[in-house]
Amino acid sequence: MREVPSTRARDAKPEETLPRGHRGGVISMHRALAHFKLGPMNLAASVALLFVFSAIWLALLPRVCRFWSGALETGIHFLPLNARLDLADKNFHILTLHIPYLRMEPVLPSLTVWSLTAVLTVLFYAATYLLPAHLKPVIYIVRGIALVQASALFYFAFWPTSFPHTPESYMQALVVAIAAIISIVPVLYALTFYIFDFGLAKKALLTALTMAHLTLFLPLQVLLQALALQQTVMFMPVLYIVFGMMVDVLIIIGFYSWGMTWSFRQPSTANR
């Protein structure tokens, strides 16, 4: 039978019923939507921030590449890493960049490395069944990583010499991709963060912190991946899918989530 609405529900005005939940409680507007004010001044400030940070980043990018080169060179010197630094020339319309990356010899997995990795993969996957139910996000992440590595184990068990990628091509593509991600941070924030009424200073601060963090993180990320690839190229799929650009995207999401917890401008300040 179709449920017949009560007389009170039929007589209620739409504006009286929409903001209430199924238990009758009032559904208040989200704090972000309450401060979504894309007026002319806010829009102009957002566009100005986008162009200012993009221009500053493009002006500093050649120096940033030199900083990355020095950091990678220092890492090669102090870490047990059999690699050498090389530069890839990337020509764009407005500038030429010398992108640093690491050259390494591709190492196929030995029987010992393959067997040990297989045992650890099975143990990590089996350990997820011992975790409590409230850790389901961790369970799914660990299982996903284990499945990616299991696919690599299967591939290198039957077609080890057919793997088409080399560590140096992967390293070069990784640095270029992360540099591109840092370059579009102002665009991402202009579309998702600048539209809220935080004030110009907080918008600029979050953008600067995010781009600076990613800039400093890149050499560390590359060196850690190089240490793993030095053992065998069998780890490249899990490094690319899980610990590559995905990590940098999560860093941006983390900074954005932190910024969204900041206090909005007071009405008296926003109207000035």
CA distance 193 to 178: 21
DSSP assignment of 93-140, as one string? Answer: SS-EEEEEEEE----PPPHHHHHHHHHHHHHHHHHGGGS-GGGHHHHH
For residue 105 the two structure tokens come to 């010899």
Q: What are phi and psi of 71, to 5 degrees?
A: -65, -40
What is the number of other CB atoms lying within 10 angstroms of the CB of residue 6? 9
Over 80: is that where the pLDDT of 24 sits? Answer: no
DSSP tag of 47? H
CA distance 265 to 218: 34
Can you give the pLDDT at residue 268?
52
CB 224 within 8 A of CB 218: no
- Mean pLDDT within 1-29: 53
What is the number of other CB atoms lying within 10 angstroms of the CB of residue 183? 15
To which residue do tokens 């899990």 refer? Answer: 238
CA atoms within 13 A on the CB side of 134: 0
Q: What is the pTM of this model?
A: 0.81
CA distance 207 to 62: 20
Can you give the pLDDT at residue 9?
47
Buried b / exposed e over 95-134, threshold 16 CB at 10 Å, is eebebbbbebeeeebeeebbeebbeebeeebeebeeeeee
Distances 95 to 52, 58, 159, 168 between C-alpha atoms, Å: 17, 8, 42, 24
* Average pLDDT of the chain, as a whole number: 86
Q: Which residues pair with 86 in a beta bridge?
A: 101
Query: Residue 46 — pLDDT band, cuts 50, 70, 90?
Result: confident
Q: What is the pLDDT of residues 177-199, one digit of tens each?
A: 999 999 999 999 998 888 888 88
Over 50: is that where the pLDDT of 1 sits? Answer: no
Q: Where are the domains of the chain?
A: 38-108+163-270
Q: What is the pLDDT of residues 61-115, one digit of tens each?
A: 999 999 999 999 999 999 999 999 999 988 877 788 899 999 999 999 999 999 9
Residue ranges with strand state E in 81-216: 84-91, 96-103
